[in-house]
Amino acid sequence: MNNIYKIIVFLFISIVLVGTFAAPIPVIPGLYDKARIIYLHVPMSWIAVLSFLLSMINSVQYLRKRDVVYDLKAYSTAEVGFIFTILATVTGSLWAKFNWGSYWNWDPRETSIFILLLIYGAYFSLRSAIENPEQKAKLSSVYSIIAFVTVPFFIFIMPRIVESLHPADTIVNAQGKINMNPLMLSIFLFSLLSFTLLFFWILNIKIRSEKLKLARLLKINNK
pLDDT given for residue 223 in this prediction? 60
How far, in Å, CA of 197 to CA of 123, rounded?
25
The whole-angstrom distance between residue 155's C-alpha and the CA centroid of its chain comes to 11
The upper half-sphere exposure of residue 42, i.e. CA atoms within 13 Å in the direction of its Cβ, equals 21
What rounded mean pLDDT belongs to the chain? 86
Percent of the chain past pLDDT 70, that is, above it, reads 87
pLDDT given for residue 99 in this prediction? 78
**What pTM, to 2 d.p., does this model score?**
0.88
> Mind listing the pLDDT tens digit for each residue in 15-67?
888 888 888 877 665 566 777 888 999 999 999 999 999 999 999 999 999 99
First to last CA, the chain: 36
Per the rule left: phi > 0, alpha: psi between -120 and 50, beta: everything else, 214 is: alpha
Q: Which residues contact 93 (CB under 8 A, 6 or more apart)?
A: 103, 104, 110
pLDDT given for residue 182 in this prediction? 83
Q: Is 172 helix (H, G, I), strand (E, B) or coil?
A: strand
